Structure 1
Amino acid sequence: MKRRNKAIAAMLVAAMTASLAMTGCGGTEKASNDKKELTVWAWDVALKALEDASVEYQKDHPDVTFNFEEMGTDQIYKKLSTSLATGNGIADIILIEGDVLVGYADKFPEGFLDLTDVVNADDFLSSKMKEVTYNDKVHAFPWDAGPMGLFYRTDYFEEAGVNPDDIQTWDDLIEAGHKIEETCKNPNGDPVKMLPVDPKKSSLYSMIRGELGIGVFDEDGNPIVDCEKSIKAMEKAKEIYDSGVALAYNGWDEYEQTVANESVATIPEAVWMIGTIKDKGPQTEGKWGVIDLPKIDGGEYSVNNGGSDLAINAKSKCADEAKDFCKFAMTDAKIQASAFEKYGLYPSYIPSYDEEVFQKGDSFFGEENIYNVFIENGKNVADIPISPNALEASDSIGAAVSKIFLNGEDVTTTMENLEDELKTKFN
């Protein structure tokens, strides 16, 4: 759910009047046999999880049928951008990435059904509620979240004499990284690096910045990359990269290969990385643990990476049924736990953490229950303002990171220039 077409930002301002014909609740015709059909757009495993939920829902609602259409993110966003103004040609229920939702809510404030009276904020992670709320209106049901932790190779740590409990700060991580590189070899005979870093992306900087509780924009939409905390985060990210303990990679495929090749001792990543580790590194079973992310001085928050939400077309002919199904699927603890166990969709619905799957852990990662780390961290993510310009700004931020990491440019000057660029771009 993290990867997306770079054209999303452009799609948000694409033509708004195109209309696609559709039968059932989402269009102008009523489905036959007095049944009410809900059309659902979603991708990948999320679609499968919603299909599972629909089976349970229909046991008590046989008059509601479903039309599931599997689409990639780029397909969904293109259709939304061309049809939200009219409400025609859009599914009743639409899956949207969390950091994309606010862009549509800004461009089309009446495009999604207002769920303020349906979503109980106390039942969901605070950071996810921040994600779905814009201009005092809840635009979607929060769904999966991505609280982060530090996945680490227990065998490499033991071989190098590194105690995971001693990794409290990013400076501790650097020190341990030098020990591991001097001591440990991967199966190919190469020295083991401490962590993977893409030097052309903002991931490491964004992670550390999140620990300090700030984003790229403030509550009023003003860029704040040139503030003290942002500069501090970038300086620490540069220090980590310059220390030599990072393994540089380019793109998702190379990221996965760091697991397959057993070339890194730690991976600071979201809970969904569990699936990638098990899929790409089956031979590493029993060799992983999870601890909190290292912290920067002054950092008091945990960090989230990724996730999606479930929105409803405001002009759906079956809005009540769509609302009822979404509430059922998103607030049934057993359904949410099953979606996590089967598909890796970590719920933001807090009551689901009492279900068995979260209590027993995952044997792949040893006897200690790794989910405890993510459950606690998910509750400690800062309520960072999400700007409709965040996605479009990401390319500029990535370019700034590249200048600092690869070209050795001055952090303060680069961040000053970046803020000027963002102010000019978004005025």
Structure 2
Amino acid sequence: MKEAEKIYQVDHPDFKLNIVETPWDDLQVKLTTLAQSKEYGQLPDIMLIQNNAFQKNVINYPEVFTDITKSGIKFDEFPAGVNGYSTVGGAHYGVPFDSGTAINALRTDVLTQAGYTVKDFTDITWDKYITMGEDILAKTGKPMLSGQAGSSDQILMMLQSAGASLFDKDGKPTIVGNVALEKSITLYKEMVQKGIYLEVNSWDEYIATLVNGTVASALNGVWISGSIQTAKDQSGKWGVTDLPALSGIAGATNYSANGGSSWAVSSNANVALATDFLAKTFAGSTKLYDTILPGAGAIANWTPASKSTVYAEPQPFFGGQPIYADVIKFGAKVPANNTGAYYYEARDAVSAAITQIIAGKDMTSALAEAQAAVEFAQN
């Protein structure tokens, strides 16, 4: 935001931003409190909203947000899958910012030890991934992946890669009878049982499996690259490619997302000024993204940024691969995902179901209970 302010001030020298950093959980509480008390005058002009919470907030508190569809911002310069998070009823309420585009980051030295390359993991299916993962585990002793037990992140990335969701277009849960979800859970359970997916108990333990070399890869939002690069001794030993696809599922792709956020303009804003600022910076300035990428690792969703020489620079940590340019290309192919107003309730319910299924519970009944829990929350 500070860099965006400098860029906008070139043509608007009197422009100033008052930037207030607020942790997401606190921001959500404040937003909810102001909405329920109708104290709209205390809202900031612009807010950074987590993508997975965006639709929920707009649907629950429409009077807090501004429809910026006709603001002049070029939404077609952002991937449809990312625009979808902040689109409600066909109207745009947000400008996508940091990328949650998913990557498959692989330890190239481990692959070499087992006779594989990153290319072998490019544009493949999960079935082939599991077959190679078993071989790599047998030859190196390293599981392919890791993640927090009881978390649905992996499943939801697999689900979105096929353009599927936990809700239909009307906001009704689609947990029961969701073929893509059932396929994703089946594959996840298979990986855990075969030892190629290591479940751990906490986020810190998950990060430790990456930086300590416990596993051969990380599959997550591109923001995970920041944690991976803290392992200085692994510089040059990583590569990045796209995700495995769900075989036999209509709409399956090799692209997905996890996380990310978008800028919202509040109903209390000077809307013309706020949207012009966003249009000239986060939705219109290659210079901005060139500046914040090296210093903050803030990877753009704005597609024109991929043409920048900074994004095209080889990254030594990743063996000289220009991973940031690759990630923007991946992002343009991520299917849209309808999160709805009860995304977190559905996410928690599915997480609980996965834990039960891994422990041996029948998938059909576990998912039926998950859907019933979401429907109860909706009512």
Question: TM-score, normalised on structure 2?
Answer: 0.92
Name 1:16's counterpart in structure 2. none
Deviations for 1:105-160, whole angstroms, at most 9, x for unmatched residues? 11121211221112222111111211111123211212122111211111111111
- Whether contact under 8 Å (2:306, 2:325) holds in the other structure is no
Q: Work out the number of aligned pairs and report it.
A: 369
Q: Which of 270, 290, 298 matches 2:221?
A: 270
- State yes or no: 1:198 paired with 2:151: no
- Whether contact under 8 Å (2:143, 2:197) holds in the other structure is yes
- Whether contact under 8 Å (2:114, 2:136) holds in the other structure is yes
Give 1:322-337 correspondences, 5 Å limit: 322-330=274-282, 331-337=284-290
- Whether contact under 8 Å (1:132, 1:139) holds in the other structure is yes
Name 1:182's counterpart in structure 2. 138
Q: CA deviation at 1:169?
A: 2.2
- State yes or no: 1:169 paired with 2:121: no
3-state DSSP of counterpart to 1:358: coil
3-state DSSP of counterpart to 2:371: helix
Name 1:236's counterpart in structure 2. 187
Distance in 2 (alpha carbons) for counterparts of 1:368 and 1:128: 24
- Whether contact under 8 Å (1:212, 1:229) holds in the other structure is yes
Name 2:367's counterpart in structure 1. 415
Distance in 2 (alpha carbons) for counterparts of 1:417 and 1:196: 27
3-state DSSP of counterpart to 1:247: strand
- Whether contact under 8 Å (1:288, 1:365) holds in the other structure is yes
Name 1:29's counterpart in structure 2. none
- Whether contact under 8 Å (1:154, 1:287) holds in the other structure is yes
Distance in 2 (alpha carbons) for counterparts of 1:353 and 1:306: 20
AA at the equivalent of 1:197: G
Unaligned runs of 5+ in 1: 1-49, 185-190
In angstroms, what is the RMSD of aligned CA positions?
Answer: 1.7
Name 1:218's counterpart in structure 2. 168
AA at the equivalent of 1:138: H
- Whether contact under 8 Å (2:345, 2:377) holds in the other structure is no
- Whether contact under 8 Å (1:224, 1:230) holds in the other structure is no
Give 1:87-98 correspondences, 5 Å limit: 87-98=40-51
Distance in 2 (alpha carbons) for counterparts of 1:276 and 1:94: 26
Distance in 2 (alpha carbons) for counterparts of 1:413 and 1:360: 50
Q: Which of 63, 66, 72 matches 1:110?
A: 63
- State yes or no: 1:144 paired with 2:98: yes
Name 2:345's counterpart in structure 1. 392
Distance in 1 (alpha carbons) for counterparts of 2:39 and 2:50: 22
Distance in 1 (alpha carbons) for counterparts of 2:161 and 2:26: 33
- Whether contact under 8 Å (2:102, 2:219) holds in the other structure is yes
Distance in 1 (alpha carbons) for counterparts of 2:326 and 2:261: 21
Query: Which moves more between the two structures, 347-356 or 159-168?
Result: 159-168
Distance in 1 (alpha carbons) for counterparts of 2:254 and 2:39: 41
Deviations for 1:359-396, whole angstroms, at most 9, x for unmatched residues? 12312101332234422321111122220110222211
Q: CA deviation at 1:170?
A: 1.9
Name 2:24's counterpart in structure 1. 73
- State yes or no: 1:256 paired with 2:207: yes
Distance in 1 (alpha carbons) for counterparts of 2:100 and 2:274: 25
- Whether contact under 8 Å (1:147, 1:378) holds in the other structure is yes
Larger radius of gyration: 1
Deviations for 1:273-298, whole angstroms, at most 9, x for unmatched residues? 2211112x111000001122122203
Deviations for 1:35-58, whole angstroms, at most 9, x for unmatched residues? xxxxxxxxxxxxxxx011112222
- Whether contact under 8 Å (1:269, 1:305) holds in the other structure is yes
AA at the equivalent of 1:294: P
AA at the equivalent of 1:276: S
- State yes or no: 1:283 paired with 2:233: yes
Q: Which of 267, 285, 303 matches 1:314?
A: 267
Query: Which moves more between the two structures, 171-180 or 75-84?
Result: 171-180
Aligned pair in 2 of structure 1 residues 69, 83: CA closer, same or farther (>3 Å)? same
Name 1:58's counterpart in structure 2. 9
Deviations for 1:165-222, whole angstroms, at most 9, x for unmatched residues? 33322222222223323332xxxxxx32211032201112112212221111010111
Give 1:3-82 correspondences, 5 Å limit: 50-82=1-33
Deviations for 1:61-110, whole angstroms, at most 9, x for unmatched residues? 22222211111111211111111333122211111111111111111212
AA at the equivalent of 1:212: A
Deviations for 1:16-52, whole angstroms, at most 9, x for unmatched residues? xxxxxxxxxxxxxxxxxxxxxxxxxxxxxxxxxx011
Name 1:155's counterpart in structure 2. 109
3-state DSSP of counterpart to 1:395: helix
Give 1:336-415 correspondences, 5 Å limit: 336-405=289-358, 407-415=359-367
Percentage of matched positions with identical amino acids? 29
Deviations for 1:328-349, whole angstroms, at most 9, x for unmatched residues? 2212122023222321222111
Unaligned runs of 5+ in 2: none
Distance in 1 (alpha carbons) for counterparts of 2:218 and 2:325: 18
3-state DSSP of counterpart to 1:67: coil
Q: CA deviation at 1:324?
A: 1.9
Name 1:15's counterpart in structure 2. none
- State yes or no: 1:121 paired with 2:75: yes
Larger relative contact order (CA 8 Å, sep ≥ 6): 2
Q: Which of 132, 138, 144 matches 2:86?
A: 132
